[in-house]
Amino acid sequence: MMVANRQPATIDSDTGKVILTPTRTPPIKLDTLRNLRDEMGRVYREARAGKIQTQDATRFVFVLDKLRDVLMAMDIEKRIEALEERK
């Protein structure tokens, strides 16, 4: 017998309960400092609520902070190029 249209799942080793595995994570816009700030806040709130482990939250926010550094560096580079074109 073939089973179709079933969502992937895993079994929790502690409780034995079936946990549905999401097939795709919805895209998160991380192209502005505001979007990064909002995502950091979401991660913080989820960690405080116990939805994600604090170790994972720390890792996620670290990566978001690195993305912030890149966005800021790109902005500075763009401004320097604009100043150099004025000369």
Which residue ranges make up each domain of the chain? Answer: 24-86
4 versus 15: the higher-pLDDT residue is 15
Amino acid making up residue 20: L
Give burial (CB, 10 Å; 0-12/13-18/19+) of 10. Answer: exposed
> Where residue 1 falls among pLDDT bands split at 50, 70, 90?
very low
| Segment 34-63, tens digit of pLDDT | 999 999 999 999 999 999 999 999 999 999
Confidence (pTM):
0.68
